[in-house]
């Protein structure tokens, strides 16, 4: 009986060792993937910062004004003037929803008798 118990215990230890071995490598693979994702995110953030800087550089008002002047014959762009904008009191806001009251009379049939 002891021999069977020793064999079962040995098989259980070997099975647990195999499981721990596989879990260790799965964990290391997950950590490696996580590190790669963090590197990708850092690279994307750096690229986004560069793109934002380029966008700000390309949208400088003096540069856009020069481009509008150069391409005036094709585009006909003019600078904004204060009188081109509307006033707040000229904005048509939608009317607030009103309360719906029905004018139809409610028909009541029957009578009320005392004591019911």
Burial 80-97 (b: 16+ CB within 10 A, else e): eeeeeeeeeeeeeeeeee
Can you give the residue ranges of every domain in the chain? 2-80
Q: Are 79 and 65 in contact (CB under 8 A)?
A: yes
Alpha helices in the chain (DSSP H): 2-58, 61-70, 72-75
- The whole-number pLDDT of residue 100 equals 67
Question: What is the spatial distance between Cα 89 and Cα 71, in angstroms, rounded to a whole number?
Answer: 36
The pLDDT value recorded for residue 19 is 96
Q: What is the DSSP letter of 37?
A: H
What string of pLDDT tens digits covers the 116 residues of the chain? 899 999 999 999 999 999 999 999 999 999 999 999 999 999 999 999 999 999 999 999 999 889 888 888 888 888 788 888 888 888 888 888 777 666 666 666 767 676 55
Express each pLDDT in 58-76 by its tens digit: 999 999 889 888 888 888 8
């Amino acid at each position: 009986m002891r021999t069977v118990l020793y064999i079962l215990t040995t098989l259980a230890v070997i099975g647990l060792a195999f499981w721990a071995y596989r879990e260790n490598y799965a964990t290391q693979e997950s950590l490696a993937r996580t590190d790669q994702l963090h590197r990708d995110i850092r690279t994307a953030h750096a690229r986004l910062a560069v793109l934002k800087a380029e966008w700000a550089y390309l949208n400088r008002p003096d540069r856009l004004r020069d481009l509008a002047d150069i391409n005036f014959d094709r585009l006909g762009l003019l600078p904004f003037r204060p009188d081109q904008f509307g006033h707040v009191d000229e904005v048509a806001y939608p009317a607030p929803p009103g309360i719906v009251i029905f004018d139809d009379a409610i028909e009541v049939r029957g009578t009320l008798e005392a004591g019911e």
